[in-house]
Amino acid sequence: MIRAAAQKIINRKECWLMKCLIIDVVSPAIAEELGKYMEVTTCKQLPPSKDELKAEIGDVDVLIMRVDPKIDKEVLDAAKSLKVIGVCSVGLNHIDTKYAEEKGVQVFNAPGLNGNAVAELTICKMLELSRHTIPAHRDVTVNEKWDKYAFVGRELRGKTLGVLGFGRIGQRVGEIARVFGMKVVAYDPYLPAEIFAKNEATSMSIAEVCKVSDYITIHMPLNDETRNLFNAKSIAEMKSDAVVLNMARGGIVNEKDMCEALKAGKIGGYATDVLENEVAGDGLTADAGFRSPLFDCDNFVVSPHIGAQTVDASRDIGAHIINKVKEALDLK
């Protein structure tokens, strides 16, 4: 028993030789808990640029981040001691996971824990576009007009919602949509039929979803198959008053084609929480600029990737990442 206690003290001393670097705004519980086992530092600039990260990551054992900057071969080679990357989000397309594995670096994300937050934001944007709340607010506060007849909207009740990517987030969006009286159709080639049945959704191809839906919400990863999935061709197959919502990744929707469709009145609206060049190169931290032609379009709503930005999601994700890091490093 004494030997075990002594070994525990030795292990704790070894842990204190380790360093953790936090490079984004995450749950404070992560620093508090991991600080019991290792030295925890938070970057002054959140998130740092790629060059700033390379300068600091040399002796870091644990990296805690979200989606910026890009963790490529160059960054991983600069990390001489890195053992774990804890990603407080779902997507991993900003990390060279294959090279990280070759370097013996474990990468953990937090799938599903921001699902409700993203789903609620999706419904929020559906309502914003359907009821024109943003231009109505601007008309009252900026133009000082009180003209309710200028903002005639439509209800979600009785409309068809198409969900592309019917995982945790997509299913939750469908669940909420049904409360509004919407019919749910969905595309996800990786799910068995019983999942669609359980969630009262009709399984369809992408083309079928585009044809029948009044609203289409995207919850798919960005990869070679989904890049530019929504382009001039797919938009032409949709109803002229259909609304597209992208809470997934920039690049799935071709912004040039979407802009042209909005200006030509070929689509009812586009709401997004992401942009094509959001994580391009070094991301927005490198002042790459993110001006989009969509900014000049009517019936367009954008937010700066705030899908998971709730205190509730942050708490749940923080607890998950803490457990994964402690498990990976055998911290007792």
Measured over the CA atoms of residue 295, residue 296, residue 300 and residue 301, the dihedral's sign is positive
Q: Which of 112, 105, 122 is nearest to 89 (CA)?
A: 112
Residues with active-site annotation:
249, 278, 305
Task: Provide the 10 A C-beta neighbour count for residue 265.
Answer: 11
Measured over the CA atoms of residue 228, residue 118, residue 305 and residue 245, the dihedral's sign is positive
Q: At how many degrees (to 10) do helices 168-179 and 115-131 cross?
A: 50
Sheet containing 183-187: order of strands: 201-203, 183-187, 160-164, 215-218, 243-246, 269-272, 300-302
Cβ–Cβ under 8 Å, residues 215 and 185:
no
| Dist. CA 274–CA 304, nearest whole Å | 7
